[in-house]
Amino acid sequence: MNFLILLVLVSPPAATAWIPPRRPLRPPTSSPAVAPLWSPLDLTAEPPGLPPLPPDDLLRLYTSQPDLWPVELFAIMYRADADGTLLSVRDASNGTAQWGLGSGVPAVRWAPSWHAPPTGYVRSDPPRQIEAQRFPTFGGENSWTYDRIEATGEAGGDPDLEAAAGRLRNALRDVLAAEQPRTPWDEARISAVRMALENECGLAAVRGTLRTTGLFGGGGAVTLDWEGMAARARVYALLPQMPSPLPHPNTSAEELRRELRDRPAVIEREGRDPHCDVHGRVYTHISTANVSNTIMAVYLCLDLTGWPETKELPALDAGGHQTGRREWKSLEDLKVLDVHGRIATEDPKQIFISGYVVRELVRENIIPRRGIQELQ
């Protein structure tokens, strides 16, 4: 089907586009049934009254060496009308939640050193490694190593996609270059993404993320406001609830599924907080044993309001292979908003992997609550 998509996005001043507002860090809740609020924060800060970060804290390591951060790009497609806003989501196939964006493509990530990189990735040159014992939930005696790998992607075949990926990558680089970081945390956060985008892995991740939307390859031009989209993009550090102890990468799929199924009961039995680590840092999502899920995530918001061609979109992987179907779900269904149109306060992690992130994007009016009174 031939169709034209035009998104007109209003760009905020570039100097503030990438630095989110600060909110006070909440300590771990005394009641594990009550999820704390999440907002973008300096995850290397030490709030009073909580255990200090250890000298070998993983996020401090990443902050001192930003090229070690896993970096992943996500596309968020939404439609807004007088009745509210719908997001395009798909079932979360890894079992950590009911729904996910289905558009995440890593530019940089970790992979076990003894495994060949997955399709579309190569080991970094020069090589970089990290010990498993650097991850907070390691908990074992015999460590192992991960290699840094980078996306190569699949170029060619769709000139429209190639042109779009190039323009968007360049626009993102321009926005980041204009930033003036206020803190070492902001500097590291921006540097991690800039370094990825300056290399082929960044272009490959942008290309792959656009492929996952299902908007390309239909035979017609897809025209988007790439510069406006880049100005509205946001970079958030995501800290997941990980399995503890961290399973070895050779652990069978059956054992990993069992760990994920039993984790809530284990956390309760051990008296741990399911929502925060011991330093008060709020978990953004529930993770498998993939250590690359502690990431710098770049969110690109695509407004598809009014385009009937997008009512049914395929769920594609970064290579363009169909893996299922997408569905449109309301912000209320995804626990982003409550039934009164306010920002929801219940824990969204088991319903929608990106629930906390989309709440923040709604707070910042990057994603609108069309037809819903703006209530905080």
Please check whether residue 293 lies inside any domain of the structure: yes
Q: Is 129 a domain residue?
A: no
Q: Please, what sign has the CA dihedral across residues 195, 197, 202, 205?
A: positive
Residue 201: other Cβ atoms inside 10 A: 24
Q: Are 288 and 222 in contact (CB under 8 A)?
A: no
Three-state SS for 141? coil
251 in any annotated domain: yes
Residue 122 pLDDT grade (very low, low, confident, very high; cuts 50, 70, 90): very high
The pLDDT of residue 358 is 97
Residue 333 has pLDDT above 60, yes or no: yes
Q: Are 121 and 152 in contact (CB under 8 A)?
A: yes
In a domain, 144, yes or no: no
Strands 129-131 and 327-330, by their bridges, are unpaired
Contact 280, 290 (CB under 8 A): no
Residue 237 lies in a domain: yes
Instruction: Decide if pLDDT at 16 tops 70.
Output: no
Residues in Cβ contact with 65 at an 8 Å cutoff, skipping those fewer than 6 apart = none
Task: Categorize the per-residue pLDDT at 9 as very low, low, confident or very high, splitting at 50, 70 and 90.
Answer: very low
Q: Report how far residue 62's alpha carbon sits from residue 192's, in angstroms, rounded to the nearest whole number.
A: 9
Does the structure show a pLDDT above 80 at 18?
Answer: no
Higher local confidence (pLDDT), 31 or 295: 295
Residue with tokens 């942008």: 206
Q: Give φ, ψ of 281 to 5 degrees.
A: -85, 125
Cα–Cα distance for residue pair 18/13, rounded to 1 Å: 10
pLDDT number for residue 265: 96
DSSP 229: H
Residue 122 covered by a domain = no
Burial 29-64 (b: 16+ CB within 10 A, else e): beebeebbebbbbbbbeeeeebeebeeebbbbebbe
Would residue 373 count as lying in a domain? Answer: no
The range of the structural domain enclosing residue 96 comes to 14-19+29-108+155-363
pLDDT band, very low/low/confident/very high, at 43 (cuts 50, 70, 90): very high
Is 130 among the domain residues?
A: no
Q: If you compute the radius of gyration of the chain from its CA atoms, what whole number of angstroms results?
A: 20
Do the bridges between strand 145-151 and strand 121-123 make them parallel or antiparallel, or are there none, so unpaired?
A: antiparallel
CB-facing half-sphere around the CA of 147: CA atoms within 13 A = 16
With a CB cutoff of 8 Å and minimum separation 6, the contacts of 258 are none
pLDDT digits over 124-181, tens only? 999 999 999 999 999 888 899 999 999 997 666 788 899 999 999 999 999 999 999 9
Q: Residues 305-327: pLDDT tens digits?
A: 877 667 778 899 998 888 888 99
The mean pLDDT value of the chain amounts to 87
What does the DSSP assignment read for 28-89? PPSSTTSPPP-----TT---TTSPPPPTT-HHHHHHHSGGGS-EEEEEEEEEEETTEEEEEE
> Over pLDDT 90: what percentage of the chain?
72
Residue 302: in which H helix or E strand, if any? strand 295-303
Model pLDDT, residue 375:
40
* Cα gap 231→226, rounded to integer Å: 9
Q: 351-365, pLDDT tens digit by residue?
A: 999 999 999 999 999
Domain count, the chain: 1
